[in-house]
């Protein structure tokens, strides 16, 4: 039996909604098949008011074991590092997290706000929000760069806005069944199982990307969304097109640009005006952000050549079709 305590800070509850929609395994499967006992969750917990306070106090006193501390939302430290903007059970939430993280077997941060600070941490960040162990790309966050749980691991980050439901439940299963040691974490503490391939892997527009065919928002099969509407699929690590949402689709398959929400820079460019649903460019035609693993100059040269060659192929194909039609 693995006891799970789920707390929520500066959040929209999107990851809770995602979690409750999990399919492989479902939340019910976690309890009935994998030995997960949910001590408390803000949406499904039975305890209220002082009952929750007493539960948290019992955990800290060692009377109740907390195997997995799940945290959703940013750590709110404001104003002036007091944390009083986010009170929970008669004290700042950040104080509970600080103490509970010392007794928890493992700590799992769910969603962008918990992993990197997310939208609440965008400048000027009036709530003084941060992630549990990262602030954007900088390791440290609230618990510090050297934090490790009693289980010997740093905070396990499952980013996303929201995170895919099955990413959440499968990591909880791995911990509950003693298999978390088999899960490798990357430099941002993301499980490599889900965050090695790029969103572009499995994208239905990948041929248009290769041929440098521009596409528009919502126009299925009409071109790649990277060139005009800000799709970040080529530089975002996530399995969105391998483990489909609702077992049906993904943003890019529905011709909606990937927002890069599993990367620590999200929201990218700090939501600067004109940066959402639009590819930022140099000189009006060179994308500022290029696919991962490419230098900007190298990408510009190769992309220009490939786009020219595709245009030639199309032109030759048109000429051939005209000549064949006239025979």
pLDDT digits (tens, 9 = 90+) for 276-290: 888 888 877 778 888
* pLDDT at residue 217 tops 90: no
Please report the pLDDT score of residue 297 as a whole number.
80
* pLDDT at residue 326 tops 60: no
| DSSP annotation of 7 | E
Please report the pLDDT score of residue 320 as a whole number.
46
* pLDDT at residue 302 tops 80: no
Alpha carbons 200 and 17: distance in angstroms, whole number: 25
* DSSP notation for 145-193: TT---TTS--PEEE--TT--HHHHHHHHHHHHTT-GGG--B-TTS-BTT
The distance from CA 16 to its chain's CA centroid, rounded to whole angstroms, is 14
* pLDDT at residue 323 tops 50: no
pLDDT in tens, 120-148: 999 999 999 999 999 999 999 999 999 99
Give percent above pLDDT 70 in the chain: 91
Residues 60/99, Cβ–Cβ less than 8 Å: yes
Q: The tokens of 39 are what?
A: 């001590």
Which residues does 179 contact at the CB level (< 8 Å), separation at least 6? 173
* pLDDT at residue 222 tops 90: no
Rounded to 5 degrees, what are φ and ψ at 286? -100, 115
The distance from CA 196 to its chain's CA centroid, rounded to whole angstroms, is 13
* pLDDT at residue 241 tops 60: yes
Q: Mean pLDDT over residues 146-160, rounded?
A: 98
Residues 150/100, Cβ–Cβ less than 8 Å: no
* pLDDT at residue 301 tops 70: yes
Q: Mean pLDDT over residues 197-202, rounded?
A: 93
* pLDDT at residue 307 tops 70: no
Query: Domains of the chain by range and CATH?
Result: 2-182 (3.40.50.700), 197-314 (4.10.480.10)
Bigger pLDDT: 210 vs 264:
264
Q: Which of 85-94, 109-118, 314-323 is predicted with the least confidence, judged by mean pLDDT?
A: 314-323
State pTM to two decimals: 0.90
Burial class of residue 222, CB neighbours in 10 A (0-12, 13-18, 19+): middle
């Amino acid at each position: 039996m693995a006891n799970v305590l789920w707390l929520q800070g500066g959040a929209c509850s999107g990851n809770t909604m995602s979690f409750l929609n999990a399919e492989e395994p479902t939340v019910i499967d976690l309890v009935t098949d994998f030995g997960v006992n949910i001590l408390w969750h803000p949406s499904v917990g039975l305890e209220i008011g002082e009952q929750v306070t007493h539960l948290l106090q019992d955990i800290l006193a060692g009377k109740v074991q907390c195997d997995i501390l799940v945290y959703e939302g940013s750590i709110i430290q404001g104003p002036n590092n007091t944390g009083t903007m986010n009170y929970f059970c008669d004290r700042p939430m950040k104080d509970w997290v600080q103490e509970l993280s010392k007794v928890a077997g493992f700590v799992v941060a769910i969603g962008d706000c918990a992993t990197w600070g997310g939208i609440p941490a965008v400048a000027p960040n009036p709530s003084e929000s941060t992630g549990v162990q990262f602030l954007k790309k900088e390791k440290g966050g609230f618990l510090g760069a050297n934090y490790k749980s009693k289980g010997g691991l740093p905070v396990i980050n499952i980013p996303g806005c929201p995170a895919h439901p099955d990413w959440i439940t499968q990591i909880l299963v791995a911990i509950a069944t003693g298999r978390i040691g088999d899960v490798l974490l990357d430099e941002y503490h993301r499980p490599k199982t889900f965050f090695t391939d790029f969103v572009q892997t499995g994208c239905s527009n990948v041929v248009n990307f290769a041929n440098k065919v521009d596409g528009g928002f919502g126009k299925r099969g009409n071109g790649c969304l990277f060139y005009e509407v800000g799709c970040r699929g080529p530089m975002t690590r996530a399995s969105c097109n391998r483990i489909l949402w609702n077992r049906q689709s993904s943003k890019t398959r529905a011709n909606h640009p990937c927002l890069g929400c599993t990367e620590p820079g999200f929201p990218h460019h700090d939501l600067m005006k004109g940066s959402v649903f639009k590819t930022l460019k140099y000189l009006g035609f060179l994308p500022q952000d290029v696919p991962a693993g490419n230098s900007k100059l190298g990408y510009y040269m190769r992309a220009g050549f490939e786009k020219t060659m595709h245009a030639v192929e199309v032109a030759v194909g048109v000429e051939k079709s005209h000549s064949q039609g006239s025979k």
